[in-house]
Amino acid sequence: MSVERDQLLRAIATVLTDQPRLPMEQLAQAIGISRATLHRMFPNREAIVEAVLALALEASREAIDSAAIDQGPADEALRRLVATFMPNAVLYLFLQSARQERCGQADTWLARFEPNRQRVLALFRRGQEEGCLRVDLTAQWMHDATSALLFEAANSVREGRLAAADAVESVLTVLLDGARRRPAPAAGRSTAGLASALAVSLALWGGLPASGHAVEVEGVHFDDAVALGGATLSVNGTGLREVYIVKTWVAALYTPGPVRSAQALIADPGPRRLAISLLADVSIDRIARGILDAIRRNHDPLLLASIDAQIKAFVATLRAIGPTQKGDRLTLDLAEGSTRVSFNDMMVGEPIAGLLFRDALLRAFVGAQPIDVDLQRGLLGLPPQEAAGQAGSAGPAGAARSD
């Protein structure tokens, strides 16, 4: 592939990522060539997409080869890989955009990317075997998290939220600080230390009240503090879910300290609790559908695909609850990398592992397009006039009435 053609395809990828349905004539104008020239090179849009995806595949293979990921310590190889991937970020963003537009070519090309994906996956497994990467996280999850970080960094650079010069180090800082294996804690605790550890473990998922006070919302009492994940959490904010003037449920968000933005809430991996109390005989299916719709609105197809198994497990867990009625309580505990569901103080199903899913679940409540805007700002402890622009990812806040 010639340098000129390569540069032209990158320019096309940049334009179509922002405007995927741009007509051929306007596309030619945007990249600075005539429509006739564009048509001579690519007879139709399908040919353009095919060419850009072919370039993305080639660039991916070359990046992996250039990074020499089979050589040296795995964490250093990972550092090299991220550095070689970032210059091609626009091509991967184009692939993401093509999938979002339900372009059949993108799905076909994903299968061709599989050998490259397997090579990177092998790198994470090697890091675990060498002892430089954590073994309590799966290689697949670390691979998916890396992909998500690369996509988000590229998108942040494109939208001006992150300097291009800082992109590689930003990804590596988040990735390696979370993926490097940590030394085991020193042995030999005192009796008092063991007793303290036992108390923490008892409170870890039990949500034991930390005080005798309560917060009242629409006649529902929430404990003002609970113990979760080895920490004491306080009510950060409360909100009401109202559908067509019908008050359906209220919720309280518990955090270790005050949090007033979605960015800060999600960036901190510390424990969180969402406590929901039903004000009407709303079915669990409607609640599940509302949460699921909000998760989909706040995330692109590639990220959704990476947490598809967790989403399905979460929905299945909610539906296992069965019939619900006014006064029932649903609790979502997010701690130590897992999400646990409880109903009327009884745990339901198995913990759902994954920080990406945990973040997606939080965005459903406080993200840019939440379940309910009034609920969103209430959980963040914001008065109505301060809520605008505080919700996290780019895009206007909105609320679908699906529950």
pLDDT tens digits for range 232-285: 899 999 999 988 778 999 999 999 989 888 888 888 878 999 999 999 988 999
The CATH superfamily of 3-179 is Tetracycline Repressor, domain 2 (1.10.357.10)
Task: Report DSSP state, residue 272.
Answer: E
Between these two residues, 204 and 57, which has the higher pLDDT value?
57
pTM of the model: 0.48
Beta-bridge mates of residue 274: 253, 332
* DSSP three-state, residue 222: strand
Decide if pLDDT at 396 tops 50. Answer: no
- Give the class (CATH, top level) of 199-386: alpha beta
Angle in degrees, CA 294, 300, 303, rounded to 5: 100
> So where are the chain's domains?
3-179, 199-386
pLDDT tens digits for range 117-139: 889 889 999 988 888 887 777 88
The reported pLDDT for the residue numbered 193 is 37
Specify the DSSP element, H or E, that contains 227.
Answer: strand 225-228
**Lowest mean pLDDT: which of 99-103, 186-190, 318-322?**
186-190
pLDDT tens digits for range 90-127: 777 777 666 555 455 555 666 777 888 889 889 999 98
Decide if pLDDT at 158 tops 90. Answer: no
* CA dist list (Å): 65 to 60, 86, 168, 206: 9, 14, 18, 49
Comparing C-alpha atoms, which of 69, 76, 87, 70 is closest to residue 13? 87
Decide if pLDDT at 201 tops 50. Answer: no
**Terminal CA-to-CA distance of the chain, rounded, Å?**
52
Please compute Rg for the chain using Cα positions.
Answer: 24
